[in-house]
């Protein structure tokens, strides 16, 4: 693309010579020769502060929202963050390939990985990587689109009202789903109902011929059906009246979850290489989306059965003293912690949960942490090790055989002597709690 065309798309002003550029970058460390560098202002860094470093790498053009002194061609825009979104919108508007978009309080990354793996059986897939699901990550994914791609899979996240509506309007999905809703980021939304409406905005962004894939097991299913307006709907869940259903679910010790996948045109047995019955729901979401995209049953089965667990999401490892360590450290919220506890207590006679705080719960934090303690006790959990301010409430609610620690090191020192080959430890906490440090110390 030439800079003159890019300038029109961004509604900016070109200072310097017209030229061609290669790739889009926002990272001064990885930007390369003849790239287009967007100087984005983030929470911790401002790309404008690294322009001198970027120029040394012979970029083709800079996208800025302030005056800069340089002979390198640059396009001045009102806001570089908005400009990045506008360029991604242009890319989306100029492709006709199917676009799948996924949001939800829990399970969206796993569902994205499952659907991506299904679609890979049928063609080339452009998909969100890691958790690139915000107003920077989603545009960067779309800007990697090239003629070789057959499908796009986008993960969409939110931590403030209006974010999903904005991103869905850019993605313009041909098929979209909400995995489920839970009190995640509730300090920014106030109520679970408000979160459900925010998530449901993904359906309002559907393309004219788009399909809404709805989880009928979620209490907000009727709300989402209304928000999908006149779009075609495909449902999934464990209810018999859903279009895509799971039956005969069995958890197997070797990390497999076996179930019968019931599609409108056939029943097939699935051996899912992911731990936990809650991942069956994620598999149903992915299968329903793939069915909506006219993917063959054979490719749905192969995609589900060959997926690899995502980093920090129920990954089973061998640990200190032969103990089994289940690394679920990537993130945590009340719903996902309860699912993890259910998995742990069902598969291990001697089960230990290591829990860091669940963050962004606002004034409900103490209550929700206490509820986790009571839930874990009732589920039959043997021992509980916690760190973090709010998890002290979890320890108090659990009672005997629960301990609270000021830091990771103290927790690890106390936990290690408890470990034997008969013990299974599940480690979980919000991203900011860095519970992977405990995993690393035990594995």
Secondary structure of 3-65 in HEC code, one letter for each residue: HHHHHHHHCCEEECCCCECCCEECCCCCCCCCCEEECCECCCCEHHHHHHHHHCCCCCEEEEC
Tokens, residue 46:
């401002």
Q: If we measure between CA atoms, which residue out of 92, 88, 100 comes closest to residue 173?
A: 100
Sign of the four-CA dihedral 389, 391, 393, 395: negative
Q: If we measure between CA atoms, which residue out of 107, 111, 112, 110 comes closest to residue 138?
A: 112
Q: Alpha-carbon distance 235 to 244, whole Å?
A: 6
User: Does the pTM exceed 0.75?
Assistant: yes
Tokens, residue 162:
């209006």
- pLDDT tens series, the chain, 443 aa: 999 999 999 999 999 999 999 999 999 999 999 999 999 998 888 999 999 999 999 999 999 999 999 999 999 999 999 999 999 999 999 999 999 999 999 899 999 999 999 999 999 999 998 778 899 999 999 999 999 999 999 999 988 899 999 999 999 999 999 999 988 777 778 899 999 999 999 999 999 999 999 999 999 999 999 999 879 999 999 877 899 999 998 876 677 899 999 999 899 999 999 988 889 999 999 999 999 999 999 999 999 999 998 889 899 999 999 999 999 999 999 999 999 999 998 877 889 999 999 998 989 999 999 999 999 999 999 999 999 999 999 999 999 999 999 999 999 999 999 999 999 999 999 999 999 999 999 99
Q: In the β-sheet with 324-328, what is the strand arrangement from edge to edge?
A: 315-318, 324-328, 423-428, 350-356, 383-387, 402-405
Q: If we measure between CA atoms, which residue out of 237, 243, 241, 171 comes closest to residue 210?
A: 171
Termini Cα distance of the chain: 48
Q: What are the chain's domains?
A: 3-78 (3.40.1390.10), 95-305 (3.40.1190.10), 315-442 (3.90.190.20)
In sequence order, what E strands does 243-393 have?
A: 244-251, 257-263, 266-272, 315-318, 324-328, 350-356, 383-387
Q: If we measure between CA atoms, which residue out of 358, 367, 370 comes closest to residue 334?
A: 358
């Amino acid at each position: 693309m030439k800079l003159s065309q890019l300038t029109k798309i961004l509604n900016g002003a070109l200072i310097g010579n017209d030229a061609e550029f290669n790739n889009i970058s926002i990272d001064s460390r990885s930007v390369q020769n003849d790239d287009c560098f967007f100087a984005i202002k983030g929470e911790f860094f401002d790309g404008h502060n690294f322009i001198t470093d970027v120029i040394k790498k012979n970029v083709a053009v800079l996208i800025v929202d302030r005056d800069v002194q340089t002979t390198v061609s640059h396009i001045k825009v009102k806001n570089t963050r908005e400009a990045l979104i506008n360029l991604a919108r242009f890319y989306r508007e100029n492709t006709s390939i199917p676009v799948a978009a996924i949001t939800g309080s829990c399970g969206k990354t796993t569902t994205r990985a499952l659907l991506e793996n299904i679609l890979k059986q049928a063609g080339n897939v452009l998909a969100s990587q890691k958790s690139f699901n915000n107003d920077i990550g989603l545009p960067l994914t779309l800007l990697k689109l090239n003629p070789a791609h057959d499908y796009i899979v986008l993960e969409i996240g939110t931590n403030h009202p209006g974010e999903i509506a904005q991103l869905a309007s850019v993605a313009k999905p041909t098929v979209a789903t909400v995995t489920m809703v839970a009190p995640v980021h509730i300090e920014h939304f106030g109520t679970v109902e408000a979160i459900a409406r925010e998530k449901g905005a993904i359906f309002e962004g559907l393309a004219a011929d788009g399909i809404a894939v709805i989880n009928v097991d979620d209490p907000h299913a009727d709300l989402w059906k209304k928000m999908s307006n006149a779009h075609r709907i495909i449902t999934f869940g464990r209810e018999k009246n859903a279009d895509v259903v799971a039956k005969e679910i069995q958890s197997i010790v070797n990390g497999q979850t076996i179930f019968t996948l019931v599609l409108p045109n056939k029943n097939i047995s699935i051996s899912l290489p992911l731990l936990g019955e809650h991942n069956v729901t994620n598999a149903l979401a992915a299968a329903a989306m793939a069915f909506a995209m006219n993917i063959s049953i054979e490719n749905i089965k192969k995609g589900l059965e060959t997926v690899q667990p995502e980093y920090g999401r129920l990954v089973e490892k061998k640990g200190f003293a032969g103990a089994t360590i289940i690394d679920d450290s990537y993130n945590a919220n009340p719903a996902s912690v309860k699912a993890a506890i259910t998995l742990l207590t069902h598969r291990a006679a001697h089960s230990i949960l290591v829990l860091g705080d669940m963050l962004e719960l606002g004034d409900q934090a103490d209550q929700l942490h206490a509820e986790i303690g009571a839930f874990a006790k009732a589920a039959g959990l043997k021992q509980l090790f916690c760190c973090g301010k709010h998890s002290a409430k979890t320890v108090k609610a659990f009672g005997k055989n629960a301990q609270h620690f000021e830091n990771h090191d103290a927790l690890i020192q106390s936990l290690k002597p408890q470990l034997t080959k008969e013990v299974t430890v599940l480690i979980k906490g919000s991203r900011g709690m860095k519970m992977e440090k405990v995993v690393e110390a035990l594995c």
